[in-house]
Structure 1
Amino acid sequence: MILTKLLFIVLIIVCALFYILYIWDFALVLLIVMIALPIIMFVSTLIAKRSIKVEFAVKDKNAVKFKDFPVQLVVTNNSIFPIGKAEAKVEYYNSFSKDISSFDLFLPIQPRNSQRVTFQLNSKFCGTIKIRTLYLNIYDPLRIFKFRTASNIHTEVTIMPEGHDIGGIVHYSDRVNEESDLFSEHRPGDDPSEVFDLREYNAGDKLNRIHWKLSSKKDDFIVKDYSLPIDVPCMLFIDLKCYSENDSALPVTDTLIETFLSISQFLLDNERCHSVVFFNASQNQFAEYSITSSADLASVVKALIASVDDMRYCQKPDVYFTENDSLSFASFTYISSDFNEKLLDSIDEEVEADFKNAVIIIDDIDKTASLGGGYSSLNVIPVVVGRISASIKDIDI
């Protein structure tokens, strides 16, 4: 572009000398045209710059890992002046990582028209893929002038985590929410406030469960099976603080979130309602969500991913346990990528629960030996990055 400017300066000087040496009307017209042409290019491109609108178009804001998803850069030129060349600098990154990637897009922009450039992105880790423009450079048709616009136009796509099959036992407890109306659809229980099923009498059935009115009509003893409450105080606590600043940060965080998803889905599959607590950076506080269905879980996963800001700030879990010093649950599961012995000692001694687990994400199987046990009621479960199913085989929850 500098050479083009120098060329025009030389041509203007030559035309001026030509006009001085030859007193012709053609020489004057040529000089005027050579002087006016850059001015026209400047003014028309400046008008076009002020008439350009840039945005991203994403068909689906949610995508799955390892699969390409399309993103469109839409440039609308509302002026009557065409742009022969435009170049956009686009960068993207995962909110769980500081690694930024970028690429260039080249396109012409027709007058009173929209140009769409489609590009494909993918991610092998869950998280929020944030996409933004650094700039859009536009050039006049003669490539004399360049104008910069559309900085920091942005959009984002959520890469959803994948659930994994895990093994374990879901224990049923007497600690239930007595005001709840959530009962098992598959298992009977001992809650007389709701009838689960009616069946014929079997030896050993309690007499107070006989449905006398219905039995008199059927000429046989009919017994009521009571319902099993599933609204049990069961909590998953997720420590989202990133303790890895190297290449393992993304895979560790990915495994952390997928571990939570797998345990939560395991509880739902066994009809166990539960709650989850994590630090929400956008709210600057610990947030608690109840999960009673797959729809709740999907909503919580999105909120979990969205809760991490670009600074990846997360309050230490010690703060939550200090502020909530009388916790009582049927089961409590702590999920983190940091083996904090002092905190685990505190959970072991101060959190009241029938079953307590500490699920620790590690990036190397050799670190398993360093995760000591010796807790009176806390079960420590190491989970190797990318090996959730193999790591969680016998969780009691």
Structure 2
Amino acid sequence: MILTKLLFIVLIIVCALFYILYIWDFALVLLIVMIALPIIMFITTYITKKNISVEFAVKDKTAVKSKDFPVQLVVTNKSIFPIGKAEARIEYYNTFSNEISSFDLFLPIQPRNSQRVTFQLNSKFCGNIKIKTLFLNIYDPLRIFKFTTASNIHTEVTIMPEGHDIGGIVHYSDRVNEESDLFSEHRPGDDPSEVFDLREYNAGDKLNRIHWKLSSKKDDFIVKDYSLPIDVPCMLFLDLNCNKVSSLALPVFDTLIETFLSISQFLLDNERCHSAVFFNASQNQFSEYSITSPTDLAAAVKALISSVDENHFCQNPETYFTDNASLSFASFTYITSAFNEKLLDSIDEEIEADFKNAVIVIDNVEKLSSIGGGYSSLNVMPVVVGRISASIKDIDI
């Protein structure tokens, strides 16, 4: 482009000399044209710049790990002047990592029209993918001038984590929410407020469970099976303190999120409603979500991923435990990638729960030996990055 400008300057000088040496109308016209042409190019391209708008179009704001998802760059030109060549630089990155990637797109821009350029992205890890324009450069037809617009136009796509099969035992507890109306659809229990099923009398059944009115009609004893409450005070506490500055930061965070998702799915599969707590950096407070269905879980996971800011700030979990010291649980599971013996001692001694677990994500097998046990009521379970199913085989929850 510099060469083009120098060429035009030389041509204007030559035309000026030609006009001085030869007093012809043609020489005057040629000089006027050579001077006016760059001015016209500047004005028309500047007008076009002022009438260009840029945005991203993403059909679905969520995507699946390791699968391509389409993103469209939409450039709308409201002016009557075309742009033969435009250059856009696109930058994208996962908010859980410091690795930034970029690429260039080249496109013409038609007058009074919208141009759509589709490109594909994918991510091997869950998280928030931020996509933005660094700039959109437009050039006049003679490539004398360049104008920059549309800096920091951005959008986001949430890459959802994948659940993994885990093994363990879900224990049923007397600690239930007595005001809840959530009962098991598959197992009977002892809650007389709800009838689970009616069946014929078997030896050993309690007499107070006989449905006398129905038995008189059937000429046989009919027994009521009561329902099993599933709204149990069960908590998954996710510590998002993941400040690793290395190539393993993203795999560690990915495993952390998927470990939480896998345990939550395991609880739902066993009809155990539960709550999830994590620090929401966007709200600067701990958030609690009640999870009673896969829909609740999907909403909580999306909120969890969106809650992490680019500074990766996470409040110390002790703040939550101090503010909520009187809580008691049927089961309490602490999920983290930051091994903190003092905090684990505090959970072991101070949190009231029938079953307590500390699930700790580590980045390599060599660290297994450094994750010690020896707690009176806390079960410590190391999870190696990428090996969730193999690591969680016998969780009591």
Q: Same fold (TM over 0.5)?
A: yes
Looking at structure 1, the residues matched to 339 and 145 of structure 2 have their Cα atoms a distance apart, in angstroms, of: 58
User: What pairs up with 1:117-196 in 2 under 5 angstroms?
Assistant: 117-196=117-196
The corresponding residue for 1:369 is 369
**Which amino acid letter does the alignment assign opposite residue 13 of structure 1?**
I
Range with greater deviation from structure 2 (320-329 or 92-101) = 320-329
Contact 2:109–2:115 (8 Å) recurs in 1:
yes
Contact 2:56–2:72 (8 Å) recurs in 1:
yes
TM-score normalised by length of structure 2: 0.99
User: What pairs up with 1:221-370 in 2 under 5 angstroms?
Assistant: 221-370=221-370
The corresponding residue for 1:85 is 85
The corresponding residue for 2:94 is 94
Contact 1:279–1:315 (8 Å) recurs in 2:
yes
Secondary structure class of the residue paired with 1:175: coil
Contact 2:90–2:134 (8 Å) recurs in 1:
yes
| Number of aligned residues | 397
Report percent identity of matched pairs. Answer: 86
Secondary structure class of the residue paired with 2:252: helix
The corresponding residue for 2:5 is 5
Looking at structure 1, the residues matched to 274 and 243 of structure 2 have their Cα atoms a distance apart, in angstroms, of: 27
The corresponding residue for 1:379 is 379
Looking at structure 2, the residues matched to 243 and 100 of structure 1 have their Cα atoms a distance apart, in angstroms, of: 17
Looking at structure 1, the residues matched to 393 and 47 of structure 2 have their Cα atoms a distance apart, in angstroms, of: 66
Contact 2:91–2:101 (8 Å) recurs in 1:
yes
The corresponding residue for 2:75 is 75
Contact 1:76–1:113 (8 Å) recurs in 2:
yes
Cα deviations by residue, 1:3-23 (Å, 9 ceiling, x for unpaired): 000000000000000000000
Looking at structure 2, the residues matched to 105 and 275 of structure 1 have their Cα atoms a distance apart, in angstroms, of: 45
**Which amino acid letter does the alignment assign opposite residue 52 of structure 1?**
I
Moved over 4 A (4+): none
Cα deviations by residue, 1:165-191 (Å, 9 ceiling, x for unpaired): 000000000000000000000000000
User: What pairs up with 1:210-221 in 2 under 5 angstroms?
Assistant: 210-221=210-221
Looking at structure 2, the residues matched to 50 and 317 of structure 1 have their Cα atoms a distance apart, in angstroms, of: 50
Contact 1:45–1:139 (8 Å) recurs in 2:
yes
Cα deviations by residue, 1:275-319 (Å, 9 ceiling, x for unpaired): 000000111000001000000000000000000112221111121
Looking at structure 2, the residues matched to 336 and 291 of structure 1 have their Cα atoms a distance apart, in angstroms, of: 20
**Which amino acid letter does the alignment assign opposite residue 177 of structure 1?**
N
How far the C-alpha of 1:324 sits from its partner, in A, is 1.8
Contact 2:189–2:226 (8 Å) recurs in 1:
yes
How far the C-alpha of 1:243 sits from its partner, in A, is 3.2
**Which amino acid letter does the alignment assign opposite residue 236 of structure 2?**
L
**Which structure 2 residue ranges, 5 or more long, are not aligned?**
none
The corresponding residue for 1:29 is 29
Secondary structure class of the residue paired with 1:135: strand
Looking at structure 1, the residues matched to 196 and 327 of structure 2 have their Cα atoms a distance apart, in angstroms, of: 31
Looking at structure 2, the residues matched to 367 and 243 of structure 1 have their Cα atoms a distance apart, in angstroms, of: 17
Contact 1:243–1:337 (8 Å) recurs in 2:
no
Looking at structure 2, the residues matched to 91 and 255 of structure 1 have their Cα atoms a distance apart, in angstroms, of: 25
Looking at structure 2, the residues matched to 220 and 72 of structure 1 have their Cα atoms a distance apart, in angstroms, of: 70
Secondary structure class of the residue paired with 2:295: helix
**Which structure 1 residue ranges, 5 or more long, are not aligned?**
none
The corresponding residue for 1:388 is 388
Looking at structure 2, the residues matched to 318 and 374 of structure 1 have their Cα atoms a distance apart, in angstroms, of: 21
The corresponding residue for 2:60 is 60
